[in-house]
Amino acid sequence: MGSGRLVVVRHGESEFNADGVWTGTADVGLTAKGRADGRRMGELLSDITFDVVYTSCMRRAVQTRDDIFATYGRMSAVFKKTAALNERDYGDYTGLNKWQVRDMVGEEAFKVLRRAFDAPIPNGETLRDVAERVVPWYLANVVPQLMAGKNVLIVGHGNSCRALRKYVEDVSDKGVEDLEMDFDKVYLYSVAPDGRMDGEQQIRQLD
């Protein structure tokens, strides 16, 4: 028997995203656009029956899940929250305008800060730190369910989803710098027993 479907979604546009503010651990809600996109995402996934749905503990991820299922219409799935999927802690930069931070540190350092696997942030997390909580949780909790043939939806954040996809897609530490996690895309996988993708990744996108 093949694995169940693993589906990975980033939460919709948040209030801070719309303002160009680094959100991180700030627990803000979605914009009207973010909520509408979540409902459209439900239509995009209407052909899949999910058994388990995981979100972070953060409001914007939970709202996205609820909006997906508002149009998805199948409520038999088990909903679970985990801090392992919470967004990267941006430390001292949380709540600051991204472009102000860019002006503070310089263009090249700003790119490294945002994209690199090991870029430190004052009093915050690197992407490696995020991966070190996401991947063990995924292997212990999600992979056994996929191997049992269950379909699992994960609604996370830009960096927790990038950390998960880095492992699932076997992306190098350097390669993760080019790994995007867009608001309007859904990533679908079948996986092998080690939790890495088995076959081709599929991507669905909102119109």
Which entry of 13, 87, 125, 157 is annotated as an active-site residue? 87
Query: b/e map of 62-75 (b: 16 or more CB within 10 Å)?
Result: bbbbbbbbeebeee
157 is catalytic: no
Residue with tokens 């931070």: 101
11 is catalytic: yes
- In order of 66, 112, 131, 139, 201, the CA distances from 195 in angstroms are 26, 28, 14, 7, 13
Q: Closest Cα to residue 13, out of 188, 184, 204? A: 184
Which amino acid would we find at residue 2? G
Which entry of 11, 13, 125, 157 is annotated as an active-site residue? 11
Instruction: Name the residues annotated as catalytic.
Output: 11, 87
